[in-house]
A and B are shown apart, each in its own frame.
Chain A
Amino acid sequence: MKRYMAIQLTLFLLFAITGAFAQDWIRTGTGLGVEKIRLAAPDFKQVTTDSGTQNLAMTFNTTLSNDLQSAGIFDMVSRSFYPLSVPGAPQEVHLSDWGSPPPSANMLAFGNLGVQAGSLNVQGWLYDTKNPQSPQVLGKQYREAATDENARLVAHRFADEIIFRLGGGIHGIAETKLYFVSSRSGTKEIWQMDYDGANQKQLTHLGDIALSPHVSPDGSRVAFSGVTKDGWQILMYSLELGRLVNFTRFGGDNYSPAWSSDGQNIAFSSSRSGNTEIYTVSSSGGNAHRLTENKGPDVSPTWNPKTNAQIAWVSGRTGLPQIYTMASDGTNVGRATDQGYAVSPSWSPNGQFLAFAWVRHYGPGAPGASDIYVMDIASKQWVQLTHDGGRNDFPSWSPDGRHIVFQSNRTGKVQIWSMLADGSETRQLTTAGENSQPNWSFK
C-alpha cells in the first residue's frame, strides 16, 4: 500500500494532511504555511578582553548560534547582512538598522559577557524590531563560575528562553541530554551527552553488554538492559549517585525498558514465560503485569507520553516484525504497519505520532534500506524522514517534539544523528567508536 501525502508541521506541531503529491520522497517543512520568525543573533560583546574571556565568548557564541539554528523555528539572518556596529547593550541598539533590509529581522538577540573575579557575567536581551516603543521581549542576566562548561550552559539557558517565548510556549531543548550505547571503551556501555553532542561521558562499566538506555522522566535514573549472571536484566543507573542501584530481577531475559511519562511504570520485554512478551512493572520494581500472550517475539515497548494509557511495540506474531498498539492493560490491540520490517517505535510527546524504523519494501530482490518514518497514529498515514542511505534505526523524540535523534551507519560506522522532525537539519553527534540506541531525556 502506498500513500502519497505531505505532512505540515506547524509551530504547534499540529500535522495537517494536505492532498496528494506525485511521489513519496518529499521534504516536509517545519512551519510550512507559517512564516518562520526571522531572527538575528550577533555575537555577544566582550566587556573584558583577556584571552580567558575570548575563549569563553567563543564557546558561548558558538553554542547560542547552534541552539537557535537547530531549534527549527527560526529563519536565521545571515551574518553578512548585519549592520557594521553590533550592539552589546540596549543603548547601543539601532532597531531600524536590523528591522529593515537587508537583515529584515523580526527579532534581535544581543548582549555582552565578561569575566570578573573568576565569574562569568552574561547579559542578554531579545528585542522586537517592529515594536520600537517597547521593544524588549526578554532581558536576562547570568553569573556562573568562569568555565567552558558554564559558558555552554548559560548559552543553552538563554537560547531556551528565546525559544520558549517565540516557539509557542514550548520549552527549548538546549539543556536536554541524550543517553546512548557506545562501544568506544571496548565493550558496549551506557553513555550520556548534551543534546548537541557535547560533554560525552561514560556512565556504566559493566564490561559485558549494556543496551537500550531510557532515562526516567525526572532525569534521576537511567533504566537499561545488561547481561548479568541471571541473563539479561533491567538495570538501573542513578544519575544522582553516579552508580548502579538495585532493581528487581525477573526470570528469563529482560530488556528494552521504557518509562511512562509520569515515572510510575516501566514497560519491557521478558522471556520468563518461555516466550518474549511485554510486561509492565512499577518504577520500584513491583506489581508486574503481562500485557501480551502469543508465540512470536514481542519487544521494544513505548508509552503514549500524553496519556500513558497506550503502548506501542514490535511484534513478530505474523512473521516479520510490525508495529502494534494496545491499551496499557493489554487490551484493544491494533496494528500500525502492514508490510516490510518495522521496528523501534518512539511515541511523540504530543501523543499523535509514532517515529519508527522501517524497511518498507522488504524481501528478495528488494534490498530496501532501513529508514526513519513518522506515522500519524489516527490516520495511519506516514512520511519518510531519512533518504540518505545506510541503516537508520532507534529514533527518539526530543521533548519539544520538533527533533528526532537516531542511529545511522550512513558513513560506514554506526553513529548518532539528530534531525528536525521533518527530516531536515541532520547533524552527526558522535564520531568515536560505534554509538547506537540514543534516547532523548524528557526535559
Chain B
Amino acid sequence: MKLTRSQWFKVVVALAVVLAVSACGKKKAAPPPPPPPPSAPAPTASLTANPNALNAGQATTLIWKTDYATSVTIDQLGKVDPSGSSTVTPTESTTYHLLAKNDSGTQEATARVTVMPAPAPPPAVTSDETQAQMFAQNMKDVFFDYDSYDVTQQYQQVLAADARFLKQHPNMKFTVEGHCDERGSTEYNLALGDNRANSTKQALVSLGISGDRIRTISYGKEKPFCTESTEACWAQNRRAHFVYQR
C-alpha cells in the first residue's frame, strides 16, 4: 500500500502528538527529589616528609593524616590509608601531593623533598660541574670584622658545618679567597686578605680537614662582591670565600 501525501502528514502529526503528550505526562509524574544525605564535614589532610632534604639514594619517610576522607590518594603512591606513613627513595627533588576526598569536598596537602645530587663515588656519573655546584651550595663563607682576620665564634660554627661537608667529600680540593672592603690601602688589604684566608684555612685544619686540600689567595680589595660605599656592602666584602678547585 502506498501512502498518499495527506496520509503521511497525519501519521507524522499523530506521532508528534503522542511524543509530546508522553513527555509532558512523564514530567508531571516525577517524584520530589530525595533529601540530600546527611552532610559530612569537609576532609582535612596533612602530609610531611622527614627528612625533607637528602642525598640521592637516601630514604625519607612520608607521614600523612586525614580526617573524614573517604578516599585518600598520593600521586606517587596511589590509594593509601586515611592516615599512615611510607618510606620513599626519590631520585630527584619531588613534591608529594596528597588528595583527600569525601562527598562534601576535597583537601590537598603537599610535601617537598629536596634531593641533592649524589656524592661522586663513580666520577663518571657526577660531573665536575655538579661537584662545583654542590660545593658552592654547601660551603658557607666566613665574614670578618673591620681590619680583623680573627674567625669569630659565629663563623667557627659555620666552619664546623663546612668541615662536615668537606669530610663527606674527601676528594674535593678548594681555594680560600681572602677579601677586604674598599677602605684602607691596596697593599695592606692584600696582606689582610691573606691573613683572612690563612686563618680560615687554619680553622678548617684544626677541624680535621687536610691542609693539602686547601689553597689560599688574597684579592685584597681588588675583586669586591659589592661595590657600594655602605657598611652593609663593606661587610659583604670582608670575607673568606670558598672556590671549588677543578
Contacts and interface: CB of A to CB of B under 8 A. Distances in A.
Nearest to A295: B195
B187 A276 contact: no
A297 B178 CA distance: 13
Nearest to B182: A391
B8 to A, nearest CB: 97
Interface residues of A, number: 36
Contacts of B217: 227, 231-232, 253
A232 B147 contact: no
Contacts of A161: none
A211 interface: yes
Contact of B186 (A296, A321, A436): A436
For chain A, what secondary structure do more than half of its interface residues adopt (helix, strand, loop), or is it mixed?
strand
Given A209-B222, A271-B216, A274-B198, A253 B190 contact: yes
A232 B187 CA distance: 12
Contacts, number: 88
Contacts of B190: 211, 225, 232, 253, 255-256, 269, 299
Contacts of B219: 209
A340 B195 CA distance: 20
B187 A300 contact: yes
A186 interface: no
Nearest to B185: A343
B216 A300 contact: no
A320 interface: yes
Given A232-B217, A271-B216, A320-B147, A297 B186 contact: no
A274 B216 CA distance: 9
Nearest to A269: B191
A37 B4 CA distance: 145
A316 B147 CA distance: 9
Interface in B102-150: 147, 149
A260 interface: no
B191 A276 contact: yes
A314 B191 CA distance: 10
12 contacts: A188-B222, A211-B190, A232-B190, A232-B217, A252-B194, A253-B218, A269-B187, A271-B191, A276-B191, A314-B191, A320-B147, A321-B184
Interface of A: 188, 209, 211-212, 225, 227, 231-232, 252-253, 255-256, 269, 271, 274-276, 296-300, 314, 316, 319-321, 341, 343-344, 357, 370, 393-394, 436-437
